[in-house]
Structure 1
Amino acid sequence: MDGRRLVTWDDGIDPPAPRMTAGAWLRVALRGTALAMLVFGGLLLLILLRLVERPLFGLRRSVTPWITQGVCKGAFVIIGLRREVQGAVMRGTGAVVANHSSWLDIFALNASKRIYFVSKSEVAAWPGIGWLARATGTVFIRRDPRDARQQKAVFEERLRVGHRLLFFPEGTSTDGLRVLPFKTTLFAAFFSDGLPDMQVQPVTLAYHAPPGEPATFYGWWGGQGFGEHLLRMLAAPRHGRVEVIYHPPLRVADHGDRKALARAAERAVRDGMRESGLLAAGGGPAPRDPRTI
């Protein structure tokens, strides 16, 4: 399936195409081979261990999440993207919400903590990505109000066994320089009598482009397909960094409803983007040097 279907936010300006030279193609070959061996080698190991882990622990995954974390950390080393973590990872029962810039977010968030993503059901059928998602315990949902009760039950089951669920409330990836309004629907699942002391931790992902590259370098939006974005990441002669900022968890009980909780989480994520220098006081992208646009 065409990767561009993953991206719906569009400001009318397509991302610049990667500049491909002989050196760039060599980096693609070397990094791509190493990344494929790491990801699919890790996937094979995870599947084999899961054959033993599943009958012993059921939904509780005691071993395989460590493989996922190791693969994600290794992916950043191969690509050359520096990851800087700020704040404390939440302890106890809860969920995580973050802004969404690209597929790199999955690696950035998985590298720091044991989490399980919530994704739309169509992803399960995508070659490669769908296999990885299913193997790592992703929760698939349909964005259909008729499924709300069933989805809530699935969330409760996963949270009760200690899983930390993560979703992107913006509903789409962006150019990495803005935070779109958070959609509130999935926040309703956390207001359940069966989930005492529930917490939601907002996380800001702030990507800083390599010197001389557009500030939107790591964003994935508009008509750009997955293959094109991956090619750019593998071909880049040098990379910048991503700040992974963990904000204090929000107690669900302190918020009147899903809309109030979503607003509080969005505000925390926006504050993190602003403090990183990527978001202006008015809420839009911070002014940038026109030479890097």
Structure 2
Amino acid sequence: MTWNPDAVGIDQAPHGWATLVRFWLRAIPFGIVCFGSLGILLILRQPERWIYGMRRPVTPYLTQFVCRMFFAISGLRLRVTGRPMTDHGAIVSNHASWTDIFALHAAKRVFFVSKAEVRGWFGIGWLARATGTIFINRVRGEAKRQQQYLSERLALGHKLLFFPEGTSTDAMRVLPFKTTLFAAFFEADLHRNLKIQPVTVIYRAPPDKAPTFYGWWGDMSFGWHLVQVLGASPQGAVEVIYHPPVKVADYPDRKALARACERIVRDGMPAERQISG
């Protein structure tokens, strides 16, 4: 049976006072760093656009700084294994939580490709727009136009990061990769030299917590989960594994490429998590 995130029960019990205190002790300084840096980014973005157009060679460094500060302030340990590629191409990763954004951006300057609904999320949508996230409508009639836009961004040398599962999980599995967005990698001007780097993100819960502690799925409240993560003591860890890149030209079509990347990402998970949806 296919794993259905909306069918999994979630116990969102009220947080204790100690968790709430730790949350505020971390949320306030991170908020200052985050929104202070966002102000600087918005100031820099206009001259950057005048000089470089869509290339954005400067502001991604500021976004990466904020993401690294998230780990310094929260206490969540980040480990990076493997080597992020420097070649022209894109990155595909499994998706367990909103914290994936910080983990993947802290390790490598990237531009995320996200579902269009995120644009309207309170706080998150504003930050995503400011940092150059590409929003995709999962509507068949717009697929060709969106593939063309993704191809243009790839041609600029941007490292685009996709979550091909299409949703986040409980951090215990990798769902089947959707293949639609992989079509952008097969544009005639790109596929001969383009590489895709599969990445596995593994969360390890704090001691005495459920292994799904960092997973964010279904109808779980973002606010409740934010308090849980920032209020945890001790914290757990997240590992980002960069696998060797694969060449798009080695695969006949988007479906074969998607299956290969999915297999690599799943094989990077611990043995007990190497299950599909």
Give the TM-score normalised by structure 2. Answer: 0.94
Q: Is 1:225–2:221 an aligned residue pair? A: yes
Note if 1:72 corresponds to 2:67.
Answer: yes
**Aligned counterpart, 2:88:** 93
> Alpha carbons of 1:38 and 1:278: their partners in 2 closer, same or farther (altered >3 Å)?
farther
The answer as to whether partners of 1:96 and 1:167 remain within 8 angstroms in 2 is yes
Q: How does 1:1-293 map to 2 (within 5 A)?
A: 9-14=5-10, 16-17=11-12, 20-195=15-190, 196-274=192-270, 277-280=271-274, 283=275
State the one-letter code of the partner of 1:148: A
Q: What is the CA–CA distance in structure 2 between the aligned matches of 1:151 and 1:263, rounded to whole Å? A: 21
In 1, Cα distance between the equivalents of 2:118 and 2:219? Answer: 18
Moved more, 155-164 or 123-132: 123-132
Q: Could you tell me whether the CA contact under 8 Å between 2:19 and 2:228 is conserved in 1? A: no
CA distance in 1 between counterparts of 2:276 and 2:156 reads: 39
Label 1:75 to 1:18 Cα distance change in 2 as closer, same or farther (>3 A). Answer: farther
Residue ranges of structure 1 left out of the alignment (5+ in a row): 1-7, 286-293
Distance 1:52 1:258 in 2: 38
- Could you tell me which amino acid in structure 1 is paired with residue 121 of structure 2? W
Secondary structure of the residue aligned to 1:89 is coil
Deviations along 1:85-125, one digit per CA (max 9) or x if unpaired, are 00110112111110000000000000011110111222222
**Same amino acid, percent of matched pairs:** 54
TM-score by length of 1: 0.89
RMSD between aligned residues: 1.5
Deviates more, 1:231-240 or 1:96-105: 231-240
The answer as to whether partners of 1:85 and 1:244 remain within 8 angstroms in 2 is yes
Aligned residue for 2:6, secondary structure, equals coil
Q: Tell me, in whole angstroms, the C-alpha distance in 2 between the residues paired with 1:266 and 1:117.
A: 18
Which stretch of the first structure deviates more once superposed, 126-135 or 173-182? 126-135
> Does structure 2 retain, via aligned residues, the 8 Å contact 1:174–1:219?
yes
Displacement of 1:126: 2.3
Give the Cα–Cα distance (whole angstroms) in 2 for the partners of residues 255 and 200 of structure 1: 11
Q: Using the TM superposition, give the Cα deviation of residue 284 of structure 1 relative to its aligned residue in structure 2, in angstroms.
A: 6.2
Superposition deviation, residue 204 in structure 1: 0.2
Checking the alignment, whether the CA contact within 8 Å between 1:102 and 1:219 is kept in structure 2 is: yes
